[in-house]
C-alpha cells in the first residue's frame, strides 16, 4: 500500500478527469478504486468486507460522487491497514492468535452504520467504528490492543485538516495504560476480554470526515482502584479548556444515577465514553455510555427523560415515538410497559444509553440504543418490523428501498440468520432533525471470510 496513493488519484483535477470519462462514471466507485490501487490478500479481504460495504451504503444514500471517492480514498490510505490479519475462528484461543475482537458478538471489528434523520433519506450519513488491531495485539508487545489505534490517529492527524489532538492526548494520559500497567493488568485478569479503545468516523455529506474516539473505562478503573463512574467524572472534569464547564451537568447526571429506582433495576453500569477529535470549545461534545439493568419501556422512558428532569416538548415527543418503536418492534401492548423484552439469542445484548455533555449545559441529553438481534428472531424479522416503524413515522421511501438495500450490502448473510442487524438507536431532536435514528450492522467477518474464499 503506497502512502497517500489513493488521495492523489481520487481528488482534485485527477478526480475531475476521471469523472469526465463516461466509462468510469458508469462503474461502481469501489470497483474503480480496486482497479487502480494495490491490494494484497489481507487488504483485499478487508476491502470486500469494509470498503465495499461503506461504498454501497454511500451509493444507497445518494452521496455526491466527489464526496464518495474522497471518503474511499481516505479509507484506503489511512484505515485499511488498521484492520489487522484476516479473522479466523480460532482467534483468542490458547493455541492460536491471542487477540479476538470484542466489539461485536460474532467477533467482527467493523461496525458500519447509517444515521437517519428528518425525512429518513436525504440527510443520511454513513459512519463506521473500527476496533484496530495488528499481529502484536494481545501479545506482550501490546497486551490491551492500544497501539494500532494510536498509529491510526497519527495518520488521521496528518490527513484531516480539523483533526485536533488536544483531547485525544489528554485521554491517552488519563485513560490508557502504559506497557507495564497493561501487562500487569492482563496477568491479573487473563480471561477478561474487555476492550480498551475503539475509533469511529462519520463520512458527512458535505465531504467533511469527522473522527471520534471511544475509550473504555474497565482497565484504567482497575489500575487506579476507582469505579468507572468516578473515572468518567474525573476525565470530563479535567478536559483541557472546557472541563470546568461540565460541573453542573456532571452533578445532575451523578444524582440521577444514584437515585435510579430499584424497581427499574437500580443504578445502571457505566461502560465507556466518546468524544469528537476536534479542538475543544463551546460546541465540544463528550458522551458517557450507560447500561440499565432492565429492558422494559418504562425503564427506557425513565432514562430517556432523566427521571422527569427532561420534560420539554422535544423530549415528550421523543417518548411518544419511542412508545411506537416498542409497540412496532417488540409488540408491547397497553399495560405491558413494565414487561421485560423476550431474549431470542444467547450473548451480550441489552438496552444502552449515551448521555451527551456539552459545556455550560445544565443537563446531559440521553440517546437510546438496543442490541436488536437479541430481541427478535432473525435479520428478516428485524427488517420487517423496522420498516413498519419507518412507515408509521412517515419515512416511506426509506422503508420501501431498505428490503433491497440490506441484502445488496451484505450478500454473504442470510435473511433468516441473525446478528448482522446489530443495534438500533433513537432520539428526537428539536433542531429540525426530528426523529434521529441510527442502524448499526455487523458484517459477520468470519462468515464473510469463509463465503468469500479467504479462509
Instruction: Report the percent of the chain where pLDDT is more than 70.
Output: 99
Strand segments (E) across 160-219: 197-203, 209-215
pLDDT reported for residue 432: 79
Distance of alpha carbon 83 from alpha carbon 151, whole angstroms: 12
pLDDT reported for residue 2: 47
* Cα three-residue angle 221-223-225, rounded to 5 degrees: 60
**Are 287 and 275 spatial neighbours (Cβ–Cβ below 8 Å)?**
yes
DSSP letters for 332-400: --TT-TTPPPPP-S-SS--EEEEEEE-TT-SS-EEEEEEEGGGTSS-HHHHHHHHHHHHHHTT-HHHHH
**pTM above 0.85?**
yes
DSSP letters for 402-432: HHHHHHHH-TTS-TTS-SSEEEEEEEEETTT
Helices in 196-292 by DSSP H: which ranges? 218-224, 228-237, 247-258
Report the number of secondary-structure helices (H) and strands (E) in the chain. Answer: 18, 10
Distance of alpha carbon 277 from alpha carbon 285, whole angstroms: 10
pLDDT reported for residue 1: 46
Longest alpha-carbon distance in the chain: 65
Cell of 246: 461540565
Residue 437's DSSP bridge partners are 116
Distance of alpha carbon 296 from alpha carbon 299, whole angstroms: 5
First to last CA, the chain: 22
Residues 391, 394, 396, 397, Cα dihedral to 10°: -140
pLDDT reported for residue 95: 86
- Per-residue pLDDT 10s for the chain (455 aa) are 445 689 999 988 999 999 898 888 789 999 999 999 999 999 999 999 999 999 999 999 999 999 999 999 999 999 999 999 999 989 998 889 999 999 999 999 999 999 999 888 889 999 999 999 999 999 999 999 999 999 999 999 999 999 999 999 999 999 999 999 999 999 999 989 899 999 999 999 999 999 999 999 999 999 999 999 999 999 999 999 999 999 999 999 999 999 999 999 999 999 999 999 999 999 999 999 999 999 999 999 999 999 999 999 999 999 999 999 999 999 999 999 999 999 999 998 899 999 999 999 999 999 999 999 999 999 999 999 999 999 999 999 999 999 999 999 999 999 999 999 999 999 999 887 899 999 999 999 999 999 999 98
Amino acid at each position: 500500500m503506497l502512502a497517500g496513493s489513493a488521495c492523489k488519484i481520487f481528488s482534485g483535477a485527477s478526480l475531475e478527469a476521471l469523472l469526465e470519462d463516461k466509462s468510469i462514471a458508469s462503474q461502481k466507485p469501489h470497483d474503480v478504486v480496486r482497479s487502480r490501487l494495490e491490494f494484497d490478500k489481507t487488504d483485499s479481504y478487508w476491502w470486500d468486507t469494509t470498503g465495499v460495504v461503506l461504498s454501497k451504503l454511500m451509493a444507497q444514500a445518494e452521496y455526491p460522487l466527489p464526496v464518495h471517492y474522497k471518503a474511499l480514498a481516505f479509507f484506503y490510505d489511512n484505515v485499511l491497514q488498521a484492520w489487522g490479519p484476516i479473522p479466523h475462528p480460532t482467534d483468542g484461543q490458547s493455541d492460536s492468535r491471542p487477540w479476538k475482537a470484542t466489539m461485536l458478538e460474532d467477533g467482527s471489528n467493523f461496525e458500519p452504520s447509517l444515521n437517519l434523520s428528518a425525512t429518513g433519506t436525504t440527510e443520511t450519513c454513513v459512519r463506521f467504528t473500527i476496533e484496530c488491531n495488528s499481529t502484536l495485539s494481545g501479545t506482550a508487545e501490546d497486551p490491551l490492543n492500544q497501539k494500532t489505534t494510536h498509529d491510526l490517529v497519527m495518520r488521521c492527524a496528518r490527513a484531516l485538516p480539523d483533526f485536533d489532538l488536544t483531547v485525544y492526548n489528554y485521554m491517552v494520559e488519563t485513560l490508557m495504560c502504559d506497557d507495564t500497567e497493561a501487562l500487569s493488568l492482563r496477568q491479573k485478569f487473563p480471561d477478561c476480554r474487555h476492550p480498551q479503545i475503539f475509533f469511529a468516523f462519520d463520512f458527512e455529506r458535505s465531504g467533511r470526515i469527522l473522527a471520534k474516539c471511544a475509550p473504555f473505562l474497565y482497565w484504567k478503573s482497575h489500575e487506579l482502584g476507582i469505579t468507572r463512574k468516578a473515572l468518567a467524572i474525573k476525565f470530563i472534569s479535567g478536559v483541557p479548556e472546557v472541563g470546568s464547564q461540565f460541573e453542573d451537568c456532571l452533578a445532575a447526571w451523578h444524582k440521577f444515577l444514584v437515585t435510579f429506582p430499584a424497581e427499574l433495576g437500580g443504578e445502571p453500569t457505566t461502560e465507556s465514553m466518546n468524544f469528537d477529535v476536534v479542538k475543544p470549545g463551546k460546541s465540544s461534545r463528550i458522551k458517557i455510555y450507560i447500561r440499565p439493568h432492565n429492558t422494559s419501556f418504562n425503564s427506557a422512558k425513565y432514562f430517556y427523560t432523566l427521571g422527569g428532569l427532561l420534560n420539554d416538548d422535544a423530549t415528550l415527543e421523543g417518548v411518544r415515538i419511542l412508545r411506537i418503536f416498542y409497540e412496532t418492534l417488540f409488540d408491547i401492548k397497553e399495560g405491558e410497559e413494565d414487561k421485560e423484552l423476550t431474549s431470542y439469542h444467547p450473548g451480550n445484548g441489552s438496552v444502552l444509553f449515551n448521555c451527551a455533555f456539552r459545556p455550560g449545559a445544565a443537563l446531559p441529553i440521553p440517546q437510546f440504543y438496543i442490541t436488536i438481534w437479541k430481541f427478535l428472531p432473525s435479520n428478516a424479522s428485524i427488517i420487517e418490523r423496522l420498516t413498519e416503524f419507518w412507515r408509521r413515522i412517515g419515512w416511506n421511501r426509506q422503508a420501501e428501498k431498505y428490503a433491497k438495500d440490506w441484502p445488496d450490502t451484505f450478500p454473504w448473510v442470510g435473511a433468516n440468520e441473525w446478528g448482522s442487524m446489530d443495534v438500533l438507536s433513537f432520539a428526537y431532536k428539536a433542531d429540525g432533525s426530528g426523529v434521529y435514528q441510527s442502524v448499526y450492522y455487523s458484517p459477520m467477518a468470519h462468515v464473510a471470510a469463509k463465503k468469500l474464499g479467504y479462509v
